[in-house]
Chains A and B, each alone.
Chain A
């Protein structure tokens, strides 16, 4: 008997079909990858199984967990199953945990809800479980609260809550998307170990093909609420039948074609960051106590030449966002200087500051948050005109906005629409238009493609590659795959210092610094993962052959 058996699952929310006749199976001790772009229904599938669909959802079809039918169960019956028979891990560990309860209490709570145990017994289970997920009580007392832990440690607590009662089914919805690559590698290894030890059936929902290729035994590809293809991971990814899967594969390893940059080496640097230091006062100091200083960026130097694409790589807390804010002239620096075309940005004021800022524009990470929701596109894009000494008239402004919208692949008429009328990828195009409209020499992209689906990401990377023949780009990112695809040179930032720099391919293929090596090794790579999987399958096939 299969652990999870879904037949003809149909889900509609408010009359709108979300899942159309979905059938899949999952065995104990198996990892099933659920892959698709946003809106494909992969998260809805997970929520259907857990019985956590929003109000107004209708469910038809059959979902059996170890033979027990889940469709049509009452809330109380589902409550008895959730946590004991099936657990779930979410993307954002901070919002999945209760900030007011200690980690020990949160794990013990799950135990006490399902089992009639004493407080001491529940606490013992909590301690054992936290130890299993890599948070031994000696170093991580049960009395710690979520805010005292890092993102990866919080996700470990969330996993501990999910597996405290050794459920048969574990659903992980983008469990590592919010984490750094090195932390992601650790969490994935932990999940794999738990699956092996407890023979849990793991359903891994992810948009990242490389992650799924690395972890999942079988995978399901979804599109528009239906399964387009499913099968053994390496087989499916090596010889996909469906056109959509082939496109997904091509997009996820997409490298934009760029014209070879000539004469980059000899060109004058347009941006020179010289020994920049950025300090923050530490918060929460005792009243009257000595105020402590946290050095987020410590003597960093970098330079960008005309037409060059430069990557700035580091994990969260490395200081890359702080450095970017300094380069954009948003924060004052405590030491060093930032030179734009040889003029100091840190000392510039008024018209001079506007003139220098015109040279560096930015595209932010979140395509939903980077526009004032009340403004129309024309006004949004034209906001950068504030940097010009002479503001263009209404007609001139309109003409320039329409021209730039066309350059980034949008229609001139889009100028009259509000940002919420656009998809994530289109919004990122508007953001690029806003950055380009004053004709800067450098565009800084702060994780600008991380939040996008792979197909959209490929288009945006192509657009940037086309544009960047005239201008330089600074890619601030934790995603080595993207940085490798699009940059010429890379700086690796760790604890506020540049630990390694050089040509991108050289640095990432033959890292000199231990941190870079760790980063490169932890980054999931589709090709590497598939080769490992095939080697493993090969061994199994040979030794099991009669």
Chain B
């Protein structure tokens, strides 16, 4: 039984949700990279004569009120979303994981201070404070990244600490301590590698939340500023025109939904794949 539990899973997963999630995520990432090299039109080029067109062979997803191609804007918007969310997750992980490891390793007052500081950040509604921050420091993609990233730190710190605390009780950690290894060394040699599964899952979930948060900030005009394309701002601009051009809100909305759904499915699938208990369930 235990042999099965610890065997690393290398075979291709059979779970549909994982495949669907991985597919959608891959589509999102590829679109974002493709937009650097090629978009059907310049996403910022206006053509007032072609404004508010329905989807056609020329403009696959139609045009907006300034005649900009929607498909190109969505592709370029994917790049913004990817960039903001990626950096925000990185800020959260780089700030939060060492904090969590430190709190779990030291315990006592270090743990107390780190976790209470986390509670403090948690206690504020994240998006509201992000709005406050961007309002104070001025709107823009960089400030949005900072605001979202800072709220990712306690999430990663908490997940890391919880996992690390149970690992510190394990006998192989005792064995490392008997070998006189320090807390720092044990944390990075033993604890972190054994937490990677949980942390990767957390990354995908924070990633999707980051995309949502960026869209939310852009929607209220505090995220990426024009002319940088952003799904959130596309939605905000389309809102007033729903009666005239309903598809204008539909496509960025769909892109956002599909991406967030894909990342969440990927996270769930990865969790099942990396969780040893789930492995035992599958193989029994």
**CB within 8 A of B2: which of A329, A368, A385, A386?**
A368
A418 to B8, CA, bound (A): 10
Asked whether B243 is an interface residue with its Cβ less than 8 Å from the other chain, the reply is no
Q: How far is the CB of B164 from chain A (nearest CB, A)?
A: 14
Chain B residue nearest to A431 in the complex (CB): B175
> Which A residues lie at the B interface, using CB under 8 A?
13-14, 54-56, 328-330, 353-354, 357, 361-362, 364-366, 368-374, 383-387, 418-421, 431, 434
> How many residues of chain B get a CB closer than 8 Å to chain A's CBs?
22
Answer whether residue B194 sits at the interface, using C-beta atoms and an 8 A cutoff. yes
Would you call A366 and B171 a contact (CB within 8 A)? yes
A55 with B284: in contact, given A357-B180, A373-B6 (CB under 8 Å)? yes
In the bound complex, what is the Cα–Cα distance between A329 and B284 (angstroms)? 42
Q: In the complex, A365 Cα to B6 Cα: how many Å?
A: 18
Complex CA gap A354/B283 in Å reads 44
Report yes or no: B172 in contact with A370, Cβ–Cβ below 8 A. yes
- Give residues of chain B (238-284) contacting chain A, Cβ–Cβ below 8 Å: 283-284
Contacts of A371 in B (CB 8 A): 172, 175
Would you call A434 and B6 a contact (CB within 8 A)? no
Query: In chain B, what residue has the closest Cβ to A421?
Result: B3
Judged by a CB distance under 8 angstroms, whether B179 is at the interface is yes
Q: A361-B178, A420-B7 are in contact. List 6 more A-B contacts (CB 8 A).
A: A362-B175, A372-B194, A373-B194, A374-B194, A384-B178, A421-B3
Q: How far is the CA of A368 from the CA of B170 in the complex (A)?
A: 10
Q: Encode contact with A along B149-171: 1 for CB under 8 Å, 0 otherwise.
A: 00000000000000000000011
> Complex Cα distance A368/B280, Å?
15
Provide the bound-state CA to CA distance between A330 and B176, in Å.
11
Question: Contact at A362–B6, with CB atoms within 8 Å?
Answer: no
Contact indicator A370/B175 (Cβ below 8 Å): yes
Which residues does chain A contribute within 8 Å of B194, judged by CB atoms?
372-374
The chain B residue sitting closest to A355, CB to CB, is B180
Q: Is B227 an interface residue (CB 8 A)?
A: no
Q: How far is the CA of A386 from the CA of B181 in the complex (A)?
A: 7
B7 partner residues in chain A, CB cutoff 8 A: 420
Q: Within 8 Å of chain A (Cβ to Cβ): is B19?
A: no
B125 within 8 A of A: no
If A54-B284, A365-B171 touch, does A328 touch B6 (CB 8 Å cutoff)? no
Once A374-B194, A384-B179, A386-B179 are accepted as A-B contacts, the answer to whether A364 and B174 lie under 8 Å apart by CB is yes
Question: Which residue of the partner chain B has the closest CB to A54?
Answer: B284
Name the residue of chain A whose CB is nearest to the CB of B5.
Answer: A420
B172 to A369, Cβ gap below 8 A? yes
Within the assembled complex, what's the spacing in Å between the Cα atoms of A366 and B172?
A: 10
Assembly CA distance A71 to B194 (angstroms): 43
Chain A residues near B177: list those with CB within 8 A.
328, 330
Interface pair B178/A328, CB less than 8 Å apart: yes
Cα A90 to Cα B275 with chains together (Å): 26
In Å, the complex CA distance between A368 and B7 comes to 13
Binary contact track B197-221/A, C-beta < 8 Å → 1, others 0: 0000000000000000000000000
Q: Which residues of B contact A420 (CB under 8 A)?
A: 2-3, 5-7
A374→B5 CA distance, assembly (Å): 13
User: Which residues of B sit under 8 angstroms from A56, Cβ to Cβ?
Assistant: 284
Nearest first, the 3 A-B pairs at minimum CB distance are A420-B6, A370-B171, A364-B171
Q: Is B190 an interface residue (CB 8 A)?
A: yes
Task: Give the chain B neighbours of A328 by CB distance below 8 A.
Answer: 174, 177-178
Chain A residues whose CB sits within 8 angstroms of the CB of B180 once the complex forms: 353-354, 357, 386-387
Query: Which of A354, A374, A385 counts the most B-chain CB atoms under 10 A from its CB?
Result: A374
In the complex, the chain B residue whose C-beta lies closest to that of A438 is B179
**Which residues of chain B (174-196) have a CB below 8 Å from chain A?**
174-181, 190, 193-194
| Cβ distance B105 to chain A, nearest Cβ, rounded Å | 14
The residue on A at minimum CB distance from B185 is A386
| Across-interface contacts of A14 in B (CB, < 8 A) | 283-284
What residue in chain A is nearest B181 (Cβ atoms)? Answer: A386
